[in-house]
Amino acid sequence: MLKDLKLFLALLGPYKTRVRFALLVGGVAGLCTGAGITLGAEKLFSIVLNGEQSIELKRIILVASIFPLLFLTIGVSTFLSTYHLNYSGLGVIRDLRAELFSHIQRLPLAFFQTKKTGDLIARLTADTQAMQYALTITGRDLAIAPLTFLGAISMLAYKGWQHDGVVYIYCSIALLPLVIFPVRKLTQKLGQKAKNQQEELSSVTNDLSQNLGAVKEVRAFNLQDRETRRFSKALSELFNSQMKVVKYTFSLSPVVEIISSVGLASAFVVGYYKGVTGEVFIAIFAALYFSYSPIKRISYLAGELKKGAESLRRIREVINEPVSIEEPISPVTINSIQGRIEFHEVSFSFGASPALKNASTVIEPGCVCALVGPSGAGKSTFANLVPRFYDVLKGSISIDGIDIREFNTNDLRQCIAIVSQEPVLFDDTIAENIRLGRQNATDEEVFEAAHQAFADDFIKEQPKGYQTIVGERGTRLSGGQKQRIAIARAFLRNAPILILDEATSALDSESERMIQRALNRLVVGKTVLIIAHRFSTIKNATQILVFESGNIIDEGSHADLYASCPLYQSLYDQQVH
């Protein structure tokens, strides 16, 4: 427990002033509970049990007022302690979520190819929620329970000294150390079960994320029953994991209560044969109760801390994930880019599978370069290395003679515009989705970019024009409309390097012709990489690179390659004839 507690205390460092105050007032509540109520009970019952009729009314009122004052103090102290602990705990969760999200933004694309989206969502939500419970709900017990126990034990010692009852004090508290052993054993098991529960929850979240991201495919292939069965199975596995956590969590309390009851029963027997008076016995019995109750709460706290600690470890696995795209210590300032791209013996692989092998080529400024080859040949990898979505394993890539690793990554990517084959739109207005290309662009510049992308007409037909919300991932727009908005981003960015992943594939023939004319204007003076899937889109390419199994096997113009490269000729003929 102490090890887990240190983890959380370290997180609470930025809020140490509030935490100290919360512990202080929580300690006041604990002492008032463990010692104050015990003393008050003795005073009150000494009057009631002895039947003293001659006591002045003022004294009776004074004794009776002890309890309202005690509970007022306990209530105010508990509120202040709980409020400031929750403020600190929720602040920690807010900061941790922000740190985790920020770190995820800086991780390279390779990281996301090995992680499930649902698992990352679960770590950002469910795991932080488990930590929140450990930090806030159980934080009050951490502040109050120890001093409640200390106050109660102090009262036991005081009454034992006053009434020669040391024997039954030892008798009743001798069993307390025994609580440590079952608590320790159960919390160890609870930690593993809590870890399994969070992993199962991640699996459920991932299944849900995949299903909601493929609603059209599920219905098109009648997969509703299949998806329901899969999700129900995942829920059953999560249920089993949750019940194991419940079993070990709530096993702690009965163990402590059983040991406590033996101690209380022993105190009753010994107290009876010692001839302890009623009011003293009530005070001692209350002190015993208030000494065992905090132990039970602390044992429960130990379980919650263990679950929270396992969630924290899962979060830190991601936070500690190295950002492999390292920024240069002294980056080269980018004043202007001509757009000359050179690959020098570049190799890259995803795990054990090589995606690019010793690739060397030069793409001159203003060149429209098409990347051609079978699926999986290395075209996308080649293009994705230019903006440093990945870092080369061997060799180098330079722009205008400078290794791209010497540029600040943000500055480098600011010089590159990308239009993907499947553009992603955010649940925002059309104008803001275009403005992603250059976030400080004026409305007039956004309108002009849309006009160049032949998107202006259909945008004005929308219910609110440029202020129309496109829906999650642009679901309220057609594929061609989404593609034209994505192309408008590239116009708005006006970057010297342009990467097009078959940018016109989702457009009808008429729109494709308009976009092609716009691209012909846009590419003037720019270096363009076209990841070509259809050969009709590369007829104006000035340079073509042919990929096969991660190698650039040939390059040149269409006429030269068709005459000299069998693979290119075969690919071209398959589509054209």
The rounded distance, in Å, linking the Cα atoms of 20 and 143 is 9
State the DSSP H helix or E strand holding residue 514, giving kind and residue range, or none if neither: helix 509-522
Q: Is the pLDDT of residue 46 over 70?
A: no
Instruction: Give the pairing of strands 341-350 and 368-372.
Output: unpaired
Query: pLDDT tier at 309 (50, 70, 90 boundaries)?
Result: confident
Q: Is the pLDDT of residue 51 over 60?
A: no
pLDDT digits (tens, 9 = 90+) for 420-441: 877 888 889 999 999 989 889 9
The rounded distance, in Å, linking the Cα atoms of 237 and 275 is 58
SS (H, E, C) 176-220: HHHHHHHHHHHHHHHHHHHHHHHHHHHHHHHHHHHHHCCHHHHHH
Cβ neighbours around 567 below 10 Å, total: 17
pTM recorded for the entire structure: 0.74
* Residue where the block lists tokens 């440590």: 180
The rounded distance, in Å, linking the Cα atoms of 574 and 537 is 15
Query: What is the pLDDT averaged over residues 253-279?
Result: 65
By CB atoms closer than 10 A (0-12, 13-18, 19+), residue 216 is: exposed
Query: What is the pLDDT averaged over residues 147-153?
Result: 68
The rounded distance, in Å, linking the Cα atoms of 266 and 301 is 27
Q: Is the pLDDT of residue 399 over 80?
A: yes
Measured between its terminal Cα atoms, the distance across the chain in Å is 72
For residue 345, the model assigns a pLDDT of: 94
Instruction: Enumerate the β-bridge partners of residue 527.
Output: 497
pLDDT digits (tens, 9 = 90+) for 172-194: 555 555 665 666 666 667 777 77
Q: Is the pLDDT of residue 76 over 60?
A: yes
Which of 377, 404, 400 shows the shortest CA–CA distance to 390? 404
Query: pLDDT tier at 447 (50, 70, 90 boundaries)?
Result: very high
Residue ranges of domains in the chain, CATH in brackets: 2-319 (1.20.1560.10), 341-576 (3.40.50.300)
The rounded distance, in Å, linking the Cα atoms of 351 and 349 is 6
Query: What is the pLDDT averaged over residues 68-97?
Result: 84
Q: Is the pLDDT of residue 502 over 50?
A: yes
- Percent of all residues in the chain with a pLDDT value above 70, rounded to a whole number: 71
Handedness of CA 230, 231, 232, 236 (dihedral sign): positive
Q: Is the pLDDT of residue 166 over 50?
A: no
